[in-house]
Amino acid sequence: MIVLSVGGEGHGAADRAVERCPACGSVQLEPVLEYRTPERNSFCRACGRCWHVELGQVYRITPPICFGCTERPRCEAVYAEDQARAQGH
């Protein structure tokens, strides 16, 4: 059995953009380039959450640090909802 490695493996994997939303599983992720930084973020069109990849880990971006976000109002609204839910409402 031959397994073809399509990029990803080895070096370069750490800064790949998010391929699938960790929250809703959607693949409708759009790259968000942060203002004047080489950081690479992804905005999920399906649920409105923004993600950041660092060292192979995916982190949720909070609206205050979501620079360059093109969907800010939605990003903030969804985050506020998630916070309320996390507090048991």
- Window of 9-17, 52-60, 64-72, 81-89 that interacts with Zn ion by CB under 5 A: 64-72
- Window of 4-12, 51-59, 61-69, 81-89 that interacts with Zn ion by CB under 5 A: 61-69
Exposure class string for 44-69: b at 16+ Cβ within 10 A, else e: beeebbbbbbeeeebeebebeebebb
Judged by phi (left if over 0) then psi (alpha if -120 to 50, else beta), residue 25 lies in left
- Least distance between Zn ion and beta carbon 29 (Å): 8
- Least distance between Zn ion and beta carbon 22 (Å): 8
Q: Which positions ≥6 away from 82 have C-beta within 8 Å?
A: 49
77 binds Zn ion (CB under 5 A): no
Contacting residue, 52, 66, 78, 79, with Zn ion by CB under 5 A:
66
- Least distance between Zn ion and beta carbon 11 (Å): 28
- Least distance between Zn ion and beta carbon 39 (Å): 12
